[in-house]
Amino acid sequence: MTNNAQPEEGKRSLNFIEQFVEEDLANGKNDGRIHTRFPPEPNGYLHIGHAKAICLDFGIAERYNGKCNLRFDDTNPSKEEVEYIDSIKADIHWLGFDWEDREFYASDYFGKLYDFATELIKRGLAYIDDQPASLISEQKGTPNKPGIESPYRNRSVEESLDLFRRMNEGEFEEGSRVLRAKVDMTSSNMHKRDPIIYRIMKCAHHRTGDTWKVYPMYDFAHGQSDYFEGVTHSLCTLEFEVHRPLYDWFIDQLKEGDYRPRQIEFNRLNLTYTVMSKRKLLQLVQTGQVLGWDDPRMPSLSGLRRRGYTPASIRNFVDMIGYTKYEAMNDVGLLEFAVREDLNKTATRVMGVLRPLKLILTNYPEGQEEQLETVNNPEDENAGTRLLPFGRELYIEQDDFMEDAPKKFFRLSPGNEVRLKSAYIIKCEDFVKDPKTGEITEVHCTYDPLTKSGSGESRKVKGTLHWVSAKHAIDAEVRLYDRLFVDEEPDGHKDKDFTEFLNPESLERLSNCKLEPSLANAKVEDRFQFTRLGYFCLDSKDSKPGNLVFNRTVPLKDSWGKGNR
């Protein structure tokens, strides 16, 4: 775990990236202009790792009166889909950020990049290599052993120009030729050993259609796109640190004045008990291990949203873990802490019974009902109160009753007293048991009318239970989630595939839940705390009026894996 410090709001000290930015501002770099970008590849949905990059890119722009572009790095037409572009935009907006009119695509620069590649050939700084990619890779050498120069390295400028043009006209097969930058086959940086910068792909692009038959490699597009957009600070994850000398080399060939983007790398967000790569998440979706990108068990932003996470809780979590220069694992418990902390302030307290057991108050007059006042949110004075219907027949949780209770069982058992929340003290007098199955089917209690909540009359009882009135309860399905994987780092095993660690019990669907009637009017954006059970919200996809489905966002306490789901 990197950093569990929880800074007080607004009092956080500058992170190292903000320090660099302030240094640049103090030195008058770029005329005081601050311009960042968030550059997703549209080959999957965004996950919470991306949220860390988004908060930084847009956050720096906000803090220093700058701008942040959204740029889709769409250089690989074979893996990209419009569905992903739409979802990425929706997720960024949901997190609370906006790129205004600056929605760009690396494909906007295909023309400029092609011209730049041509210019490199003309200057003797790039050449067409006719060898297959596998051989090129073998000739690269190792960090301790210099690479071998390609036999095509010194072919004439005219020949390379001609071949590059014909590659783009579709004359050659995919994989038959590539364009390589002529940098240095002996460089200690492997990325500078004549990297491939263009390849043939006979594949329609979602934006440029069939215009191009050659496509730039990511490394040839990324840094230059930042340059074309006037980006001052290119913030990216640590794995790009070793690419930086190559990006700098390209910009050296391209730039005219003093301006160049400054790349600063930071550590990735990695969460325990999940995987974070889009490729692996896509695999889970495609093999049906989860029910889509927005499955509430996924670490995708759409999954977390459907699960009930709030944008504020994700932003706060990103703030808590901070930005460093070394990779680490972040404890998912801290993310759950952040969502509880946020929901505690805003969620309406309600009552719902997940596994109902009938409770009859034998001394409560038949046919009588009353409305009991209850507080909507003790954390928020302005949240007010509402009325709960109460009557002779109620539901409580099955596991709130025990026939032979151990001493420390502070719930209901024969002869015992408990309080029903916002109602009365009751005493268990009897119970009914199915003679065949041994299942408890009814609990019979008496209530003490003098102990109504708020009346001032009370006595000490050890437990308080939640309940709903049987006559007024509404039916609902409730979905409980456990971790998607049983291992802390499912993709951290050399000899085992991450899918071997999938948790077969990550989803539990309870279809016979009884909820207080006010929940019939719940809206997707509403957040609830079900007393004693956790935070819940409507499932945005499957819930319908009259057929309600609730998701548990998170239990009240950190009780994962303790049989307390």
Supply the residues annotated as catalytic.
41, 268, 278
Contact 341, 316 (CB under 8 A): yes
**Is 52 among the residues that bind ligand ATP (CB under 6 A)?**
yes
Beta-sheet pairing, 356-361 with 440-448: parallel
Measured from the CB atom, is 141 or 333 closer to ligand ATP?
333
Residue found under tokens 């640190």 = 241
Find the binder of ligand ATP among 15, 139, 187, 237 (CB under 6 A): 237
Cα gap 125→444, rounded to integer Å = 88
Compose the 513-532 pattern: x for residues touching ligand ATP by CB under 6 A, - for all others: --------------------
Three-state SS for 232-267 is CEEEEEHHHHHHHHHHHHHHHHHCCCCCCCEEEEEC
Site string for ligand ATP, 133-162 (x = CB under 6 A): ------------------------------
Q: How far is CA 7 from the centre of its chain?
A: 22
**Footprint of Mg ion on 34-73 (CB under 5 A):** 41
Based on CB atoms, which residue is closest to ligand ATP, 20 or 410? 20
Pick what 128 binds: Mg ion, ligand ATP, none; C-beta below 5 to 8 Å, kind-dependent. Answer: none
> Tokens 């490729």 map to which residue?
279
Contact residue for ligand ATP among 67, 278, 466, 552 (CB under 6 A): 278
Contact flag: residue 299 with ligand ATP (CB under 6 A):
no
Contacting range for ligand ATP; rule: CB under 6 A; set: 23-31, 37-45, 194-202, 331-339: 37-45
The 173-212 site mask, x for binding ligand ATP (CB under 6 A), equals: ----------------------------------------
The C-alpha R_g of the chain, in whole angstroms, comes to 31
Largest interatomic CA distance in the chain:
101
Question: Which H/E stretch holds residue 280?
Answer: helix 278-286
- The answer to whether residue 49 forms part of the interface with ligand ATP (CB under 6 A) is yes
> Which one of 19, 156, 277, 512 is in contact with ligand ATP (CB under 6 A)?
277
Q: Could you say which DSSP state residue 327 is in?
A: -
Residue 40 as a binder of ligand ATP (CB under 6 A): the answer is yes
Closest separation between CB of residue 207 and ligand ATP, Å? 17
Number of residues that bind Mg ion (CB under 5 A): 1
Q: How many residues does the chain have?
A: 565
CA distance 456 to 442: 30
Among 188, 72, 165, which residue's Cα sits nearest to residue 118?
Answer: 165
Find which of Mg ion, ligand ATP, none residue 277 binds, CB within 5 to 8 Å per kind: ligand ATP
Instruction: Using the minimum distance from each CB to ligand ATP, give the nearer residue, 215 or 395.
Output: 215
Q: Which amino acid is at 133?
A: A
Q: Does 236 bind ligand ATP (CB under 6 A)?
A: yes
For residues 336 and 480, what is the distance between their CA atoms, to the nearest angstrom? Answer: 15
Site for ligand ATP in 381-420 (CB under 6 A): none
Residues 394, 326: Cα–Cα separation, whole Å: 55
Q: Which of residues 257-276 bind ligand ATP (CB under 6 A)?
A: 268-269, 276
- Minimal CB distance residue for ligand ATP: 49
SS3 content of the chain, % helix, strand, coil (to 5): 30, 25, 45
- The site partner of 77 among ligand ATP, Mg ion, none (C-beta below 5 to 8 Å per kind) is none
Nearer to ligand ATP, 148 or 282 (CB): 282
> Is 39 one of the binding residues for ligand ATP (CB under 6 A)?
yes
Q: What CA–CA distance (Å, rounded) separates 353 from 374?
A: 17
- Whether residue 442 contacts residue 360, with contact meaning beta carbons closer than 8 Å, is answered with yes
Where along the sequence are the contacts to ligand ATP (CB under 6 A)? 39-41, 49-50, 52-53, 236-237, 268-269, 276-279
Where along the sequence are the contacts to Mg ion (CB under 5 A)? 41
